Chain A
């Protein structure tokens, strides 16, 4: 009998089922568990009150990122509540024997940046973290998704979580991306096409030439944004690009263990004739640099377009109008030329070395616009070091920009990096929700190219006008 054709998702999911509960969830074994200071303290209190130990402390990795300051990291954290959360993370890590990159550690950074860059994230794994952007790790062909604090407690206690198997969706994009179009634009385009809830209930596989030709950094950006269309996660089949990224990293297998793992990883792809619950196909030629104008990531469009009329969007009219009122935008208004106050480059979506290279490519030889306050925040100290080593910092400084220290920063504004009420920010992060970047802040999501074009012109600008030929 021939084997039933399976998707990449099926192969990884099925390889991790410890038990299937009839008319209930599957009990899934979790290979890697990341924790940070915000969603873990209550989970540790939970196991403590039950008197349960951490079952496999060596499978959990801690980093401080969500409310760490991005300047003066060598000084004590001023906000007492943030300081208490950071101390709780360090205390719990020490108590239970969990490895931690605390604030000040040379390997500290955003959880979804440090996991891959240190080889903790490996193809075919199941990975969870109390953070919805855990979907990032799907770039390596992992089943990776965000969980709540009760589930963090479950993983600490049992290295398992209980999940009903989601439906499967495949999004295929063939063709070649145009000039000035980055992976972030691909993500924002997909979300604008299927809405912020269009993939809810699904796990998504990205396939086709656009993703095959993408770097690992780009794939991480795309998989990171999967949650913004409602998908629990997104994944891309591991290939030579994946293997060469992983090989030699700190915690990646070496020698014979590498060969054995590699042979397995090469089997992790969707079989021909495997069936998805839903298939969508887009054409790379239709994707131009994107920007959002509303208060969910699905409300985005090509940068040269005008803001759609309420009758032309898939969200309900009342919700759409509420969104535009918050942004102080009008239907039919052009986006190009809109005056902007802040630019944020960073986050687990776009805080990697390629994002800083892209930003530098545009600002090189130009000057920061006077009306712009720019916060450039690397995703980790390793990214920060690379920025210095490649001479990118010199380009940024020459153009009037400064580099801050790593952390989640203005993406969710838990630390002091808050966009003031009523101000407009073009951000490379992942969410434009009301108040996400500070109470009353107005966020336009975009790629590092667009962010850079805005940073040097002071207004929404098509980056293709600033990029050289070719």
Chain B
């Protein structure tokens, strides 16, 4: 599915300094009963965001109007658990384009890259700086620069580099996905399949 190209993103950020945010929290299983990819943002963090009578929980960060932006900053081991891509869809549909953490679960990271969300892994020290900067001023802007592979706290100029392989970087900056690539190598795949013992 096509997604917006990602180059440089300058935005305020939403802080969520909780470890082990699993995909059941990002989107509970009972909201996976769709046959189309739409509307998942409404149920992002459903049980942390709403009471059982569907009234918003006042102390949850997404319900606090002082925080907003296209960047979500999470604690260590973000996106653990289920492989549901719906978690990444919900984050994208809500309006985030980038998630920052000191550590991502593998499947969540792959799913994000595949749908045009940039997962940025920073050191624990830098993550702490981001949380502190947002705590001091919720209007703190971050700049995520994919071509330069850097993330900067604009107010202080503090910056850190992040890793991403060239293939995925190229895809994200151009809005390509893996199927475009795989379609172009079908002959190789057919040849390979002929040698399969299974």
Contact = CB atoms under 8 A, between A and B. Distances in A.
A200 B17 CA distance: 20
Contacts of A319: 18-20, 75
A162 B18 contact: no
B141 interface: no
Interface stretch (B57-65, B152-160, B184-192): B184-192
A230 B80 contact: yes
B77 A150 contact: no
Interface stretch (A1-9, A392-400, A430-438): A430-438
Given A41-B35, A82-B33, A164-B165, A316 B24 contact: no
A67 B196 CA distance: 34
B52 A413 contact: no
Contacts of B83: 39, 130-132, 134, 146-148
Contacts of B178: 150-151, 154, 161-162
Interface stretch (A21-29, A98-106, A351-359): A21-29
Contacts of B37: 42, 45
B59 to A, nearest CB: 12
Interface stretch (B7-15, B108-116, B143-151): B108-116
Nearest to B37: A42
B97 interface: no
B198 A157 contact: no
A433 B20 CA distance: 10
Contacts of A200: 77, 80, 103-106
Interface stretch (A50-58, A209-217, A331-339): A50-58
A56 B105 contact: no
A162 B171 CA distance: 13
Given A148-B110, A433-B24, A162 B182 contact: yes
B32 A230 contact: no
Contacts of A146: 82-83, 107
A316 B192 CA distance: 47
A18 B185 contact: yes
B16 to A, nearest CB: 11
A328 B71 CA distance: 33
B167 A25 contact: yes
Interface in A61-119: 66-67, 79, 81-82, 84-85, 88
Interface in A132-154: 132, 134, 145-151, 153-154
A29 B179 contact: no
B47 interface: yes
Interface in B74-95: 75-77, 80-86, 88
B179 to A, nearest CB: 6
Given A148-B107, A230-B105, A414 B77 contact: no
B52 A440 contact: yes
B182 A157 contact: yes
A19 interface: yes
Contact of A29 (B18, B75, B183, B189): B189
Nearest to A323: B20
B114 A151 contact: yes
Nearest to B25: A434
Contacts of B197: 260-261, 264
Contacts of B24: 412, 431, 433-436
Interface string B23-36: 01100111011111
Nearest to A157: B179
B168 interface: yes
A322 B18 CA distance: 9
Given A150-B1, A439-B28, 18 more contacts: A18-B185, A31-B196, A32-B198, A39-B84, A41-B34, A55-B186, A131-B83, A132-B107, A149-B85, A151-B110, A196-B20, A232-B106, A296-B80, A414-B29, A414-B30, A431-B82, A433-B22, A434-B25
Ranked nearest first, the 8 interchain pairs of A and B with the lowest CB-CB distance are A24-B167, A148-B85, A146-B83, A148-B111, A81-B33, A150-B114, A158-B182, A197-B77
Interface of A: 18-19, 21-25, 27, 29, 31-32, 38-39, 41-42, 45-46, 50, 52, 55-56, 66-67, 79, 81-82, 84-85, 88, 122, 125, 130-132, 134, 145-151, 153-154, 157-164, 166, 196-197, 200-201, 227, 230, 232, 260-261, 264, 296, 315-316, 318-319, 322, 412-414, 421, 431, 433-436, 439-440
24 contacts: A32-B198, A38-B84, A39-B83, A39-B84, A42-B34, A145-B107, A148-B84, A148-B114, A150-B111, A150-B114, A160-B189, A197-B77, A197-B103, A200-B80, A200-B106, A316-B76, A319-B20, A413-B30, A414-B29, A431-B82, A433-B24, A433-B25, A434-B25, A435-B25
